[in-house]
Amino acid sequence: MKVAVAGTGYVGLVAGVCFAEKGHNVVCVDIDKNKIAKMKKGLSPIYEKDLEELMQKNYKEGRIDYTTNYKNAYKDADFIFIGVGTPERKDGSANLDYVYEVAKQISQTVQKDCIVVIKSTVPIGTNDDVEKYIRKNLVNKVKIDVVSNPEFLAQGTAVRDTLQASRIVIGTENKYAEKKMLKLYENFDSPKVLTNRRSAEMIKYASNDFLALKVSYMNDIANLCEVVGANIEDVSKGMSYDERIGDKFLKAGCGYGGSCFPKDTKALHFLAEQDGYELKTVKAAIEVNKIQKLILLNKARKQFKTFKDMNVAVLGLTFKPGTDDLREAPSLENIPILLDEGAKIKAYDPIGVENYKKIYPTEINYVSSPQEALKNADICFIFTEWDEIKKVKPEEYKKLMKKPIVYDGRNIYSLKEMKEIEYHSIGRK
């Protein structure tokens, strides 16, 4: 089948490459000519495990191409996937401008019956509205059905999460569209959840927000553990044996980030408020996470009233390991405060430095190893649990820092191995 994909970020590009890998003919559309030229050379614009290899393989075998010419891409496609961003607005709502821009292009260019599939995370009811918009503005006399098909990928494992999906959710309003979608996905060996569009949209939000709730709950419990003298790692281990709870997303830390949890919790909370309902649990998760991102800095403030002229080592810039994505990363909350107070920062991240330089090109001394960041540092903050950082031995902190004072936001060391170092972590004493 011929598949066109609008957007070449984590959602669109990964979907397009995986459809090509499953044997479909795919063209990915983006407005950025430089990005398109890069992808034609087999270079991924995002850091994602296994993605470049599959891009190169399927491009060479003629199953995928990249273009800025949406007219040619959309006119005779069997399926057009919308995988563009839905960033957060200032009020917490989802910005659907990019979705409707693609919808406008589709209405003006399609020349045959096709299925329009919204893979972007959108508020409940958006698929209905987009279908009405496209049908109202169609230039040619064709049949268009809009389907909700949300993604459930995690950055760092996006390719695996797509090819070996935990479930494929298909939200349709008629059997014709459902049958077409099942044919598209027939080579994907994953459970298929067939429902209506609004339920499919809600499944995406409810799933992401539940995981955000779980993380925030554990962070809240971790903070209480410090107060009452319990150990969050023992607590989470004890909880994990309960099959009703499971062992995922029980790790305490300095807050969640990324492209999904922060904006999706706010978007669903905003949507509920618009309809006169308050999602108290989701609201609590948002509030807990906001506080948690600054927990290391607030701990350090009890010892240091100001960071002026202090040599600060920052280990980890991205919101999690395995990605170069900085969106909502804890480092972005803490580093501006440190810089504003006059701290001298040396930062290490194996992947995220180039993106960070776009924000702070000269204010930070970026180094090529954790050890270089630690050299002569007065204090160290760990924001991301990269393997390269986990491999730093406790004795290296003692050897390299002026005085080993470590604030670990990811609990990467045991208390026992750091007993000779002034070591502060989350939920442990």
Instruction: HSE, CB side, 13 Å, CA atoms: give it for residue 280.
Output: 0
- DSSP code, position 125: T
Q: For 310-361, where are the E strands, in sequence order? A: 311-315, 344-348
Counted domains in the chain:
3
Tokens 């494929």 belong to 168
Q: How far is CA 276 from the centre of its chain?
A: 29
pLDDT of residue 311: 98
What was the pLDDT predicted at 305?
86
Whether residues 35 and 164 share a domain: the answer is yes
Domain-located, residue 429: no
Residue 315 lies inside a defined structural domain of this protein: yes
Has residue 316 been placed in a domain?
yes
Q: Quote the tokens at residue 428.
A: 């442990």
Among the candidates 138, 169, 195, a domain finishes at 195
Decide if 364 is inside a domain.
Answer: yes
Residue corresponding to tokens 């496609």:
77
> How far out from the chain centre does Cα 148 lie?
20
Residue 169 lies in a domain: yes
Of 28, 114, 260, 380, which one is the catalytic site residue? 260
Same domain, 288 and 305: no
36 backbone dihedrals φ, ψ, rounded to 5°: -60, -45
Per-residue confidence (pLDDT) for residue 166, from 0 to 100: 96
According to DSSP, the residues that pair with 169 across neighbouring strands are: 193
58 and 180 inside one domain: yes
Kind plus residue range of the DSSP H or E element containing 66: strand 64-67
DSSP classification of residue 194: E
Q: Which of 195, 217, 249 is the last residue in one of the domains?
A: 195
Q: What angle do CA 155, 158, 159 make, to 5 degrees?
A: 155
Which domain CATH number covers 254? 1.10.1040.10
pTM of the model: 0.92
Indicate which CATH number applies to the domain containing 351: 3.40.50.720
Are 349 and 316 in contact, with CB atoms under 8 Å apart? yes
267 and 307 inside one domain: no
pLDDT of res. 259: 83
**Residue 51 located in a structural domain:** yes
The answer to whether 404 touches 413, Cβ cutoff 8 Å, is: no
Which residue is listed with tokens 């992401």? 208
Answer yes or no: do 141 and 6 share one domain: yes
Instruction: Classify 196 in phi/psi space as left (phi over 0), alpha (psi -120 to 50) or beta.
Output: beta
Considering 173, 195, 217, which residue would you say is the last residue of a domain?
Answer: 195
Q: Residue 420: is it exposed, middle or buried by C-beta count within 10 angstroms (0-12/13-18/19+)? A: exposed
- Are 182 and 133 in the same domain? yes
124 and 215 housed in the same domain: no
Is 346 within 8 Å of 377 (Cβ atoms)? yes
Cα–Cα distance, 422 to 404 (Å, whole number): 6
- What pLDDT was estimated at residue 293? 97
Distance CA 170, CA 400 (A): 54
Q: Which residues on adjacent β-strands are paired with residue 64?
A: 26
Same domain, 80 and 178: yes
Please name the residues in contact with 79: beta carbons below 8 A apart, sequence gap of 6 or more: 1, 2, 3, 4, 114, 115, 116, 117, 180, 184
Q: Note whether 294 and 329 are within 8 A (CB).
A: no
Specify whether 299 is located in the same domain as 338.
Answer: yes
Is 254 catalytic? The answer is no
Q: Quick one: pLDDT at residue 354?
A: 96
Domain encompassing residue 67: 2-195
φ, ψ dihedrals at 50, nearest 5°:
75, -5
pLDDT in tens, the chain (429 residues): 999 999 999 999 999 999 999 999 999 999 999 999 999 999 999 999 999 999 999 999 999 999 999 999 999 999 999 999 999 998 999 999 999 999 999 999 999 999 999 999 999 999 999 999 999 999 999 999 999 999 999 989 999 999 999 999 999 999 999 999 999 999 999 999 999 999 999 999 999 999 999 999 999 999 999 999 999 999 999 999 999 999 999 999 999 998 889 999 999 999 999 999 999 999 999 999 999 999 999 999 999 989 999 999 999 999 999 999 999 999 999 999 999 999 999 999 999 999 999 999 999 999 999 999 999 999 999 999 999 999 999 999 999 999 999 999 999 999 999 999 999 999 998
Dihedral through CA 406, CA 407, CA 408, CA 411, nearest 10? 90
From the number of C-beta atoms within 10 Å of its C-beta (0-12, 13-18, 19+), residue 82 rates as buried
Q: How many CB atoms lie within 10 A of CB 278?
A: 10
Q: Tell me, yes or no, whether 158 and 102 share the same domain.
A: yes
- Could you tell me the sign of the dihedral formed by the alpha carbons of 81, 83, 84, 85, in that order? positive
